[in-house]
Structure 1
Amino acid sequence: MTTSTKQTIGLFGFGVVGEGLYNVLQKSPTTKAIIKSICIKEPQKERSLAKEAFCTDYNTILGDPEVNLVVELISDADEAYKIVKSAMLSGKSVVSGNKKMLANNLEELIEIQNKNGVALLYDASACGSIPVIRNLEEYYDNDLLLSITGILNGSSNYILSKIFNENSSYELALRKAQELGFAEADPTLDVSGQDSLNKLIILATHGFGTIVNPSEVFVLGIDKLNSFDIRFAKEKGLKIKLIAQATKINGNSFSLLVMPKLVTADDYIFNVEDEYNGVVIQGEFYEKQFMFGKGAGGFPTGSAVLSDITARMHGYKYEYKKRKYFDSPQFTNDVQIKIYLRYKNVIDFEHFDFESIDEKYTSKDYNYVIGTINLKNLHKVQKLISKLDVFVAFVDIPEKV
C-alpha cells in the first residue's frame, strides 16, 4: 500500500489510551490525520463522544477503502491479533499498542508485513512516551549493543516507590495504585512481571534481531515481596526494582530475564520512581545511555501512538535491521546469575540448585542466602516458585558458563 499525505484512521478501542490519542490529535492541528470511525465492544457504555462516532462491527473499518491506517488499542490480545492480521492482509498499515499480542505473534506479523507491502508500527507498546523501539531500530542499528536493562512497568514501580519512599506496605501501595488507575482491578500482569516480559521480547527483537518465545524466558514478579525483604534492602542502602534485562554474551548469544533486582544507589534506575519507566542501553563503545519518561497513561501513550501515525505518514516502517544485516545471536538460559533468596522452610530452599553461596543468614522467622545459580536451573522451577514461601531477587550481571 502506498503512503498518503493524509491518514484516514479506523480506531479500535476507546479506553484510556484510545481516548488519549483522540484528545492528542485534537491538539495537533498540523497532523494530517482524522479518525473516521471508532470500533468499540460495549456500545451502552457512557463515552465523551456522540454515538455516531462509534461502531461495533470490525468490517465497518476493515472493509472501508477510505481507511488507510488501522490503529489498534484494545486490551484483549486474541482479538487484537485478529484485527491486526486482518487489516494487514487487506492491505492496510497498522499501529498497535498491544504488547502481549505482539510478543506472541511477531514472527508471523513481520512476514505478513513483508509479503503485503504494509507497515506495522508499535512504539507505544513498550515504555509509553519513551521512544525506545525507534531508537533501537535506527540509532542503535549496528552490532555493538551489549545490553538493555529497564523498568518497563509503571504499576509495579509505583508500588515499590511507595514501599521504599513512604514506608507503605505492599498491600496498601497496591490499593493506592489501583485507586489512581496505575494498576488494574486484577493487577496480575503487572506485579507478576508478565507485562514487562512482553515488552522485553519486543525490545530484544529490535536490539538483537532474535525473536524469543515468552515461555522460554525466566520471569518473576514482586507479589512475594514481604517486610523481611524490604528491611533487608533498606538496611543495606538498596532499593528493590522490577527489572527486565537483555544481555549479550560473548557476541554470539544473549540472555533475557525479568525479576526483582536489589539496586545500588549508583545504578541509573535507582531514582526512577512512581509510574515512570527508565531504560539503560549499553554498547561496546558508547558505554551506558539512559532514557527516562512516563511509561503509562492516556496522554503519554497516546503521544507515542501519534508518533507512529506521523511516521507512517512519511512512509516509515521497521526494517528489522539486526535480522536483515547481521547474524542474530542465539538465545540462551545457560548463564550464571547471582541472586538473593529469602525462604522460611529448608525444604523450599532445597529446590534451588546453587553453584556457590556467598552469604547466608538464619533466623526464627526467615532465612536468606546470596549465591550464584544457573539461570536454566532457575527457569526449571519457575512455576514451582509461585507455590513456595520464597522471594527471589537478582543482584548481579549474567556471565557465560
Structure 2
Amino acid sequence: MRKINIGLFGFGVVGEGIYKVLEEKPQLNAVIKKIVIKDASKPRNAPSELFSTNADEILNDDEINVVVELISDADAAHDIIIKAFNKGKHVVSANKKLIADHHKKLLDLQAKNNVSFLYEASVCGSVPIIRNLEEYFDNDLLNYVSGIVNGTTNYILTKMANENESYQDALKAAQESGFAEADPTADVEGFDASSKLAIITLHAFGKKIDVDQVIRKGITSLKVEDFKYAKEKNYTIKLIANSKINHQTGEITSTVLPTFVELNKTIALVNNEYNGVLIGSSLSDEQFLYGKGAGRFPTSSAVLSDISALKYDYQYSIRKYENQEEGVFNQTGKKRIYIGFENQADDVSNIFDEIEERYQSKNYNHIVGVIDIEKLKQKEIIENPKLSIIAFE
C-alpha cells in the first residue's frame, strides 16, 4: 500500500493523539482524510472541515483505504467494520469487546474481502502481545499465556496491597487519578480482561472461546483481610488472565481470577496501570512482555504500529486457527482456591474436594483447599458477591 488515507471514527484522547502524531510525522505516508464523531458541537483540536457526523462520508469514499475505529459503542463499531470490509477497506480497531464477541465472523469477512483487520491496541495497549504470538510463536508449541491485562484493576490492587486501603477507597483513588471510569464495572468485574483473554487465546492456541465461557471473578469482593493473609504468606494479589492447554487432551482452561502471586515472581512486580504477560512454550521456555496497558500514548502507539504495518500489506495469519476443530474449555480439572467470607451463613466448605486450611473468627473466615472446575464455575459460587475467591498460581 503506497499511501494510507485514513477515515477515523472517534476523536477522544487516543484519536487526537493519532492525529497529532500523523501531522508531525509525514514520513509515515499516512493522512487522516475524514473524522466521524457523534457530537459536532464539541470544540476539537483539528480543522473543522475534517469532521462529520455522517459515517458514509468515510465508508463511501473510495480514496479512503483504511478505517481506524476508536469508538466505545461496540454495536455501532460492529456495523462500521462490516461495512468497511464490504467496501474493501482495511480496518484497525481497539474495541476488545466487539472483537471478542464477533472474532470468527470478522476474521471470515476479512478473508472474504481480502483486506487486513489489525487490533493490537485492543488487548494490552503498548504491549505487543498479538504480534508476538503471530510472528514469534506461530510455530512454537505454547503451553500457556498468563498475566495482567487490565490496568485499572492492577492500579486498585496495588493500592490495596501497598497502602492497606479498602476496595472502595482504592477505586475512588483510581477514578480521581483517571485510571478508572465513572462506571468501572467492565474493568473491576473482569469483563474487560475476559474479552482480552478470548482474543489472546485464539492467537495462542487457534481456538475460539466465547467470553461467557471464561471462568471469571472480578475484584469487587476482595477485603482488607484477604490482603493481610497474602502478606502473611509472602504473596500479593493480582487479577490474572490465564489460558493453559493440556496437550494430551487438547482442553484449555481459561480463567480471569484474583490470584495469589509469590512476591519473588516477575508478575508480582507489575504494579499500578502497567500490564505484564508471560508466554510459556515448549521451545523458548518463558517470555515476559511488560508495558503500560492503557492511556493516550500506549494505545496510540499500538494503533500507529498497526497503521504502519498496513504499508506492507500485513495481515494476521493465525496459522493455528486454520481448519481447526472447535475447542474444549473448562470442562475438567481442579484448582487450589482460597475463599473468604464474613458470615458463617456463607460457608461453602461443601464445594471443596479437599480442605487444607480453615480459619474462623467473629469478623472474617476463610477456607483454603482444592475445588473441581465444574463446581467453581457454578454461578451461585463464582458470582456470589459475598465470597472473596482467590486462586493460587
Give the TM-score category using the shorter length.
over 0.9
State how far apart, in whole Å, the 2-side matches of 1:126 and 1:29 are: 28
For structure 1, the residue ranges without an aligned partner over 5 or more in a row are 397-401
Aligned partner letter, 2:359: Y
Q: Which residue of the partner structure matches residue 91 of structure 2?
A: 94
Q: Is the 8 A contact 1:191 1:221 kept in 2?
A: yes
Q: Is the 8 A contact 1:127 1:295 kept in 2?
A: yes
Post-superposition offset of 1:329 = 5.1
Q: Which residue of the partner structure matches residue 399 of structure 1?
A: none
Q: Is the 8 A contact 1:256 1:333 kept in 2?
A: no
Q: 1:389 aligns with which of 361, 386, 391?
A: 386
Post-superposition offset of 1:388 = 3.9
Q: Is the 8 A contact 1:24 1:303 kept in 2?
A: no
Distance 1:389 1:328, change over 3 A: closer
Q: Is the 8 A contact 2:14 2:300 kept in 1?
A: yes
2:142 aligned with 1:140: no
Deviates more, 1:297-306 or 1:231-240: 231-240
2:59 aligned with 1:78: no
2:21 aligned with 1:18: no
Deviates more, 1:78-87 or 1:15-24: 15-24
Post-superposition offset of 1:169 = 2.9
State how far apart, in whole Å, the 1-side matches of 2:135 and 2:348 are: 46
- Scaled by the length of structure 1, the TM-score of the pair is 0.94
Q: Which residue of the partner structure matches residue 338 of structure 2?
A: 340
SS state of the match for residue 126, structure 1?
helix
Q: Which residue of the partner structure matches residue 226 of structure 1?
A: 223
Q: Which residue of the partner structure matches residue 181 of structure 1?
A: 178
Aligned partner letter, 2:139: N
Q: Which residue of the partner structure matches residue 120 of structure 1?
A: 117
Deviates more, 1:285-294 or 1:323-332: 323-332
2:261 aligned with 1:263: yes
Q: Which residue of the partner structure matches residue 318 of structure 2?
A: 320
Aligned partner letter, 1:320: I
SS state of the match for residue 27, structure 2?
coil
Q: Which residue of the partner structure matches residue 291 of structure 1?
A: 289
Distance 1:119 1:368, change over 3 A: same
- Scaled by the length of structure 2, the TM-score of the pair is 0.96
Aligned partner letter, 1:280: L
Q: 2:305 aligns with which of 307, 312, 330?
A: 307
Q: Is the 8 A contact 1:348 1:388 kept in 2?
A: no
Q: 1:380 aligns with which of 378, 381, 387?
A: 378
Post-superposition offset of 1:334 = 1.6
Post-superposition offset of 1:143 = 4.6
Q: Which residue of the partner structure matches residue 242 of structure 1?
A: 239
Percent identity, please: 46
Aligned partner letter, 2:148: I
Aligned partner letter, 2:28: T
2:150 aligned with 1:150: no
CA RMSD of aligned residues (A): 1.6
Q: Which residue of the partner structure matches residue 196 of structure 2?
A: 199
2:49 aligned with 1:36: no
Q: Is the 8 A contact 1:17 1:302 kept in 2?
A: yes
Q: Is the 8 A contact 2:275 2:293 kept in 1?
A: yes
Deviates more, 1:254-263 or 1:387-396: 387-396
2:357 aligned with 1:359: yes
State how far apart, in whole Å, the 2-side matches of 1:150 and 1:130 are: 12
State how far apart, in whole Å, the 1-side matches of 2:127 and 2:359 are: 41
Q: Which residue of the partner structure matches residue 48 of structure 2?
A: 51
Q: Is the 8 A contact 2:160 2:224 kept in 1?
A: no
Deviates more, 1:160-169 or 1:192-201: 160-169
- Residues 171-225 of structure 1 deviation map (CA, whole Å, 9 limit, x = unaligned): 2221121122211110111111110010000000000001111111111110111
State how far apart, in whole Å, the 2-side matches of 1:167 and 1:27 are: 44
State how far apart, in whole Å, the 1-side matches of 2:39 and 2:203 are: 35
Distance 1:12 1:313, change over 3 A: same
Q: 1:103 aligns with which of 96, 100, 103?
A: 100
For structure 2, the residue ranges without an aligned partner over 5 or more in a row are none
Distance 1:358 1:27, change over 3 A: farther
Q: Where does structure 1 differ by over 4 angstroms across 4 or more consecutive aligned residues?
A: 325-329
State how far apart, in whole Å, the 2-side matches of 1:193 and 1:286 are: 30
State how far apart, in whole Å, the 2-side matches of 1:47 and 1:156 are: 31
State how far apart, in whole Å, the 1-side matches of 2:140 and 2:343 are: 46
